[in-house]
Amino acid sequence: MVFKRRNILQNLALAGIAAVVAACAGGGQQTASNGTADCPRPATMDQMFCDRDGDLVADPPEDPSEFVNPDTLVFAYTPVEDPAVYEGVWAEFVEHLSEVTGRNIEFFAVDSNAAQYEALRAGRLHVAGVNTGGVPFAVNLAGFVPFAMMAGEDGSFGYEMEIITHTDSDIQEISDLEGRQLAFTSPTSNSGFLAPSALLEGEFGLKADEDFQAAFSGAHDNSILGVQNQDYEAASIANSVLTRMCERGAADCDQIRTVYQSETFPTTAYGHVHNLDPELAERVREAFFTFDWTGTGLEEEFGQQGESQFIEITYQERWEIIRNIQEI
């Protein structure tokens, strides 16, 4: 496959948008909307949460009576592809999570990003893997506290946004998208909407539904298969999803050509709700960092991308580039 690799934020700077990033990135601290100073939070965070330590994620409640300590923990993986496939992929981890926490674990197969955020906010979901672009929404609107991410043996991690087309297409570079059709996945997806939107408008002056026809497929696998079957002329997707689908025969990479590849982004973040009992939350973290991938569904599914462990992360550091893109 032929591609061009560039740094999105550098390109946006060339387009004169760096000032917007500098002015908006991160969201500064502010006091609660009721005027009190005992519940500071970022400007982007919902009023039901506080962030007294300034790490950009919701603090646990100060009143222990507000802690959530269920007999059954509900866990969900991000709704990227077939939920039935991923329930099996996560089977050994779910068993390990149960052993470490001493709780029953229910695998919740969510069918949309919005449903996952709402379940977190409503208290129906306790532990989750949230897609890259959705992490800020889950953090700010649902009290999600990310702490882990998949990585390789050497600690390397991430994926790239790719704009793909069919091998028979005459689309050779991004400028060729003018007057054509581009499929996005969902509005909260980083690689499926936010990053390509910033890139196309910031560097190339291409606006959706003005300079090209935008479509929403609903998921990365839908976009990939749509390009393969020539239902879409082009699509923006996460190449990690493309790799997994091609490896297990769910997609044919010989029918797909990449015309653009971005810099590397952080991948799915794993975390828990902010009000999970701190002792239970600590055991949840322990389960992620003590899980042995050898011979498991996780190794089979994600090992082909070089991932073999969970590493500790912070939202404040690792999601800075994603917050910048979303501000734009």
Question: What is the CATH architecture assignment of 8-19+159-265?
Answer: 3-Layer(aba) Sandwich (3.40)
Identical fold, 8-19+159-265 and 55-155+267-327: yes
Predicted local distance difference test score (pLDDT) of residue 81: 62
Residue 276 has pLDDT above 70, yes or no: yes
Residue 30 has pLDDT above 80, yes or no: no
Average confidence score pLDDT of the chain: 88
Across 14-28, 80-94, 204-218, least confident range: 14-28
Across 138-142, 264-268, 310-314, least confident range: 264-268
With a pLDDT cut of 70, the percent of the chain lying above it is: 88
Residue 19 has pLDDT above 70, yes or no: no
Tokens 């322990």 correspond to 286
Which one is predicted more confidently, 100 or 86?
A: 100
Which one is predicted more confidently, 32 or 76?
A: 76
Across 75-89, 102-116, 195-209, 266-280, least confident range: 75-89
* CB-CB contact of 50 with 58 (8 Å): yes
DSSP class per residue in 2-50: ---B--HHHHHHHTT-HHHHHHHTT--EE--TTS-SSS-EETTS-TT--
Across 10-19, 27-36, 71-80, 258-267, least confident range: 10-19
Predicted local distance difference test score (pLDDT) of residue 110: 87
Residue 277 has pLDDT above 90, yes or no: yes
Across 30-44, 58-72, 126-140, 229-243, least confident range: 30-44
Q: Where are the domains of the chain?
A: 8-19+159-265, 55-155+267-327
Predicted local distance difference test score (pLDDT) of residue 327: 83
Residue 183 has pLDDT above 60, yes or no: yes
Task: Measure the CA–CA gap between 137 and 130, rounded to whole angstroms.
Answer: 10
* Mean pLDDT in residue range 273-294: 98
Closest of 311, 315, 287 to residue 152, by C-alpha: 311
Q: How many CA atoms lie within 13 A of 269 on its CB side?
A: 27
DSSP class per residue in 297-311: HHHHHHGGGT--EEE
pLDDT digit string (tens) for 139-181?
999 999 999 999 999 998 988 999 999 999 999 999 999 999 9
**Within a 10 A sphere around the Cβ of 185, how many other Cβ atoms?**
29
Q: Which residues contact 322 (CB under 8 A, 6 or more apart)?
A: 132, 133, 135, 136, 190, 194, 265, 266
Residue 83 has pLDDT above 80, yes or no: no
The continuous run of DSSP H or E covering 138 comes out as helix 135-142
Dihedral sign, Cα of residue 124, residue 130, residue 131, residue 136: positive
CA 229, distance to chain mean position in Å, is 26
Residue 9 has pLDDT above 80, yes or no: no
The region that residue 16 occupies, defined by phi over 0 for left and psi between -120 and 50 for alpha, beta otherwise, is: left
CA 168, distance to chain mean position in Å, is 31
* Mean pLDDT in residue range 264-287: 97
* Mean pLDDT in residue range 176-195: 93
Fold for 55-155+267-327, please state it. Answer: D-Maltodextrin-Binding Protein; domain 2 (3.40.190)
Q: How confident is the model at residue 293 (pLDDT cuts 50, 70, 90)?
A: very high
Q: Where are the beta strands (DSSP E) in 117-203?
A: 127-130, 144-151, 159-166, 181-184
Predicted local distance difference test score (pLDDT) of residue 325: 86
* CB-CB contact of 139 with 258 (8 Å): no
Predicted local distance difference test score (pLDDT) of residue 84: 73
Predicted local distance difference test score (pLDDT) of residue 80: 61
Tokens 């936010």 correspond to 194
Predicted local distance difference test score (pLDDT) of residue 22: 35
Dihedral sign, Cα of residue 153, residue 195, residue 244, residue 126: positive
Closest of 208, 304, 223, 314 to residue 266, by C-alpha: 314
